[in-house]
Amino acid sequence: MAEYRAPLREIRFWLSLFTDSAADRATDGAATGVGGNAGWHAAPLDNDVADAVLDEAARLAETVLAPLYRLGDQRGAELVDGKVRIPEEIKEAYAQLAGDGWVGLPVDEAYGGQGLPQRLATAVNEIWKSANLAFSTCPMLTQGAIEALHAHASDALRHRFLPQMTSGAWTGTMNLTEPQAGSDLGALTTTATPDGDRYRIKGRKIFITWGDHDLADNIIHLVLARIDGAPNGVRGISMFVVPKFLVNDDGTLGARNEVATVGLEEKLGIHGSPTCALNYGEGDGAIGYLVGEANAGLRYMFTMMNTARLAVGVEGLGVSERAYQQALAYALERVQGASADGWRSVAIIEHPDVRRMLLLMRAGCDAMRGLCYRAAALIDTASAGHGGADERVSLLTPIVKGWCTEVAQEIASLGVQVHGGVGYIEETGAAQVLRDARITTIYEGTTGIQANDLVSRKILRDGGQALRALLGDIAATRGALACDDATVPIGDALAAGLEAADEVVDALLSRGLEQPAFAGTAAVNTLMLLGTLVAGWTLAIGAREAARMRAEQGADTAWFDAKIRTVHFYAEHFMPRIRAYAAAILAGSDTIMAFSASDLQR
């Protein structure tokens, strides 16, 4: 298995785009700020601090986390006498990560965090996820739980739980899914009965990532439940803090709460991440504390879910980068087949089809990185109080989550293909990446759920206004691109993509509300179309910035030339997919819906 190396030069290049000066260069007088540049004017990012953070994150990833990737897959977690046990080596790695303050990187300084910008935290998360995806989900969920509590909990709850969660001494989870409910949260049956200033929680939750473990002293569960007498459906859901161990007034740990681990799932991948079934309240009921107002729990949980959805998009990037590095290393060393002139044996990287596959992987990674970092910069912009940024984050969230993880399936599969027969053998590591990648399109909402959210809530609900604004920003950038070799191919591809996107938006707005099946059958293709287009937009600006930097004295022209050619490849091999997505959307839903359930049976 090839060793993972954090692509720091790539990461720093894309982070450098999200500055005021880069934004101004990208538009040549076009609209700036949240409108014209989709939130590039974010909170300042100290370059010296960023460099130091990235260097140390890379060291920890390469020397501590990545070497445990295969161990976590082979040994994983075990359920012993109702307790989840994690391999000792992984426990030591978590202790080092938490002890060095990484969990609190983007967290408010009031709770012991470092308060650094989200785009820097996103870059660090990419490195963790490439190094060890299963491990990375633990601090990711803790950060999401911190954000939800910071946004919606009382001061008393925040001060009781957030400092220890920020330090990594305690971890966090989200508890939504139940056996009978799945993604239909309105069907959940977990109950909450008032008991003084607290509640007694009873019910069962499944698929709880890091729901139990022995990495940390306590686990803080955010649980969705229905208070006795609450309305049916999603309107009657509340959110509760339910700690594994109760916390005394002085902050010390008290008695074990009634949260029992009753199962550990056997999964396709991410074996190093325990996925648990939890029973709440096998006696009097687990003690829980209401977060915010009653019956507002689903809205509160979406704070954590949206954070997690963006982070899962970064997971798509992370596993793709690892797959690319493994495939590239193998293609460089594996000698097989003759050269084009037939006179010598060559490494397989010399074969055109292998080169094509590697470039699909490379260009996909670049596109995902630009898209994920753009969304992170928008979060920083929103945090700085710039109007309109929240709306753009909301629009991009399902695209980042859905598109990046779907492309990751292609890239991880290509990683196996580049290896050939040995890619299908576990010891090369390519198969593990493919297995690990597969969950990313499912948890935190499947691609279909993301796509329906995008079409129904983000496009149809406002008559397409937010999307039209986004397409207008892309058009402004396309119009400002200089007519030079660096940007002509992607600029032309953007023009064609915008034309197709406009057709799709018109169709959605004219047929989507009147024909629910049309919106439903068009949703995933709409998400994939917009993801391809928005990522291409970011790559176009990256190509122009690379051309500018290439012209500077002493620049590494070969590196920038390769980056520009990668954008050309994306324009030629990814952007044409937009027209295919549009054709499938515009074909409508009649053929799909003409099949009855019995027609689909063999």
Known catalytic residues are 444
Taking the C-alpha atoms of residue 577 and residue 500, their distance in angstroms, rounded to an integer, is 11
Short-list 589, 548, 484, 477, CA closest to 35 = 477
* Dihedral class, residue 232 (left if φ above 0, else alpha if ψ from -120 to 50, else beta): beta
Tokens 């339910």 belong to which residue?
Answer: 242
Taking the C-alpha atoms of residue 280 and residue 389, their distance in angstroms, rounded to an integer, is 39
Taking the C-alpha atoms of residue 431 and residue 413, their distance in angstroms, rounded to an integer, is 8
Taking the C-alpha atoms of residue 254 and residue 264, their distance in angstroms, rounded to an integer, is 26
Residues ≥6 apart with Cβ < 8 Å to 520: 452, 589
Residue 595 tokens read as 């099949």
Own/partner contacts of 545-549, CB < 8 Å, gap of 24 or more, are 545/16, 545/17, 545/22, 545/25, 545/26, 546/13, 546/486, 547/484, 547/486, 547/487, 548/25
Residues 399, 401, 403: CA angle, nearest 5 degrees: 55
Taking the C-alpha atoms of residue 388 and residue 34, their distance in angstroms, rounded to an integer, is 6
Helix (H) or strand (E) holding 247: strand 245-247
Residue 538 tokens read as 């970011």
Give me Rg for the CA atoms of the chain: 24
Residues ≥6 apart with Cβ < 8 Å to 536: 367, 490, 493, 494, 497, 570, 571, 574, 575
Strands 218-227 and 275-280, sheet pairing: unpaired
Tokens 């439903």 belong to which residue?
Answer: 520
Residues 317, 11, 32: CA angle, nearest 5 degrees: 95
Q: What's the residue count for the chain?
A: 602
Residue 571 tokens read as 């324009």
Torsion sign across C-alpha atoms 542, 548, 549, 550: positive
**Angle of the 352-383 helix axis to the 389-419 helix axis, nearest 10:** 160
Taking the C-alpha atoms of residue 516 and residue 346, their distance in angstroms, rounded to an integer, is 55
Tell me the DSSP string of 340-370.
TTSSSEEEGGGSHHHHHHHHHHHHHHHHHHH
Contact 531, 485 (CB under 8 A): no
Residue 97 CA, chain-centre distance (Å), reads 20
Residue 416 tokens read as 């196996």
Contact 79, 264 (CB under 8 A): yes
Residue 410 tokens read as 């292609």
Residue 298 tokens read as 């689903």
